[in-house]
């Protein structure tokens, strides 16, 4: 894939990659999933749906449940059990976001104030726990022990990834291998599980199950790599969070790992101070952006994202051509093109 992938419309006009084909593909199924989400986030305790709804209705594209539904269409599945599982995937994702914002002390999520800023940390953590519990109820109702195993394992792996990241914060000596291990757990595991469970409920061969797992996993890694690059090339309106959040939190994302490795002693001294928290002003962030750009760390991070995106697309090679496959390929292209 090139840095920005353009597709031809039926009229021959060039357009940027989009999630629109996937959203159109799964629109009917997604309406059913949304109904499950709204129903199951209800509680006799008013604060729970109020806080959960703030994030669930906060403008996210719901890519992960869409991947479950699109994978089902790729396989020709015509049942409804994947509606419950797609809702479970969204609840797991939302719960992790609530917990992440507490851990990170984030102020913005999707351009809105975070739940922890509005309602406080205790409420955010507890509502996250509620949504995790609801997700497991939905898994049980879907009546697939294999799907339950996949999603419960993904939940554990995500938690491991978050703890791994927490222990790596402000560690300027973090290596790329550990960084990839962190994002493979905290982000890619749920992408992989979201795709794989469609093959389970569709009762497809293990080879197809593993192919969808590989598609989701590689897409998830590409997605996170782009997110980490965006922190150094975009503004808050584009990102939906404060520019420089990762920098101020002392996170050694790949752009910083590469810039630190390639820097002279002055640059390395700056990064040591910045990652430790001693350089966190707007001027310091502007300098960090300049160091990341001058070392070509963003370009190389994006090159890695394209590599994983290509691997995701190649994972679909064994499936029949059609609207579902096209939409899933374009979803990868969209995920990589977000930084441009």
The larger pLDDT score, comparing residue 193 to residue 234, is at 193
Residue 9 has pLDDT above 60, yes or no: no
Paired tokens of 194: 């979201």
pLDDT tens readout for residues 245-264: 889 999 999 999 999 999 99
**How many separate helices (H) and strands (E) can be counted in the chain?**
18, 4
Which run of H or of E encompasses 7?
strand 7-8
Residue 299 has pLDDT above 90, yes or no: yes
Contact 54, 22 (CB under 8 A): no
Residue 58 has pLDDT above 90, yes or no: no
Residue 71 has pLDDT above 80, yes or no: yes
Contact 270, 287 (CB under 8 A): yes
Residue 84 has pLDDT above 80, yes or no: yes
* pLDDT of 108: 82
Residue 3 has pLDDT above 50, yes or no: no
Q: pTM to 2 decimals?
A: 0.92
Residue 35 has pLDDT above 50, yes or no: yes
Mean pLDDT comparison of 13-27, 229-243, 249-263, highest-scoring range? 249-263
* pLDDT of 165: 94
Distance CA 16, CA 335 (A): 11
Give whole-number Cα distances, 222 to 162, 176, 213, 232, in Å.
18, 14, 14, 16
Place of tokens 């960090």: 288
Give whole-number Cα distances, 268 to 175, 206, 263, in Å.
15, 47, 6
Paired tokens of 170: 């402000």
* pLDDT of 242: 64
pLDDT band at 235 (very low <50, low <70, confident <90, very high): low
pLDDT tens readout for residues 112-165: 899 999 999 999 999 999 999 999 999 999 999 999 999 999 999 999 999 999
Write down the mean pLDDT value for the chain. Answer: 92
Q: Which domains does the chain have, with CATH numbers?
A: 14-337 (1.10.600.10)
Residue 14 has pLDDT above 90, yes or no: no
């Amino acid at each position: 894939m090139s840095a920005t992938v353009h597709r031809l419309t039926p009229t021959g006009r060039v357009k940027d990659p989009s999630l629109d084909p996937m959203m159109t593909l799964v629109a009917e199924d997604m309406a059913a999933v949304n109904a499950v989400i709204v129903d199951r986030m209800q509680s006799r305790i008013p604060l729970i749906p109020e806080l959960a709804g703030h994030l669930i209705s906060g403008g996210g594209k719901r890519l992960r449940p869409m991947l479950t539904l699109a994978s089902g269409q790729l396989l020709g599945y015509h049942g409804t059990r994947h509606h419950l599982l797609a809702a479970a995937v969204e609840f797991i994702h939302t719960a992790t976001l609530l917990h992440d914002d507490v851990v990170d002390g984030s102020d913005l999520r999707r351009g809105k104030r975070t739940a922890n800023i509005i309602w406080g940390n205790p409420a955010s953590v507890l509502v996250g726990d509620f949504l995790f519990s609801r997700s497991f109820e939905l898994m049980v109702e879907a009546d697939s022990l294999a799907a339950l195993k996949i999603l419960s394992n993904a939940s554990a792996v995500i938690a491991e990834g978050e703890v791994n990241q927490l222990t790596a914060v402000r560690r300027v000596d973090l290596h790329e291998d550990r960084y990839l291990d962190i994002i493979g757990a905290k982000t890619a595991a749920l992408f992989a599980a979201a795709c794989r469970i469609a093959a389970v409920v569709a009762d497809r061969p293990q080879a197809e199950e593993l192919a969808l797992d590989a598609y989701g996993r590689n897409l998830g890694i590409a997605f996170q790599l782009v997110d980490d690059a965006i922190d150094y090339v975009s503004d808050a309106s584009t990102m939906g969070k404060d520019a420089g959040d990762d920098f101020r939190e002392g996170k050694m994302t790949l752009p910083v790992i590469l810039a630190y490795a390639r820097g002279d002693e002055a640059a390395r001294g700056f990064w040591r101070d910045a990652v430790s928290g001693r350089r966190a002003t707007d001027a310091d962030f502007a300098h960090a952006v300049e160091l990341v750009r001058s070392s070509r760390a963003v370009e190389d991070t994006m090159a890695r994202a394209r590599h994983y995106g290509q691997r995701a697309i190649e994972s679909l090679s064994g499936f029949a051509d059609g609207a579902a496959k096209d939409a899933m390929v374009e979803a990868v292209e969209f995920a990589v093109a977000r930084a441009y």
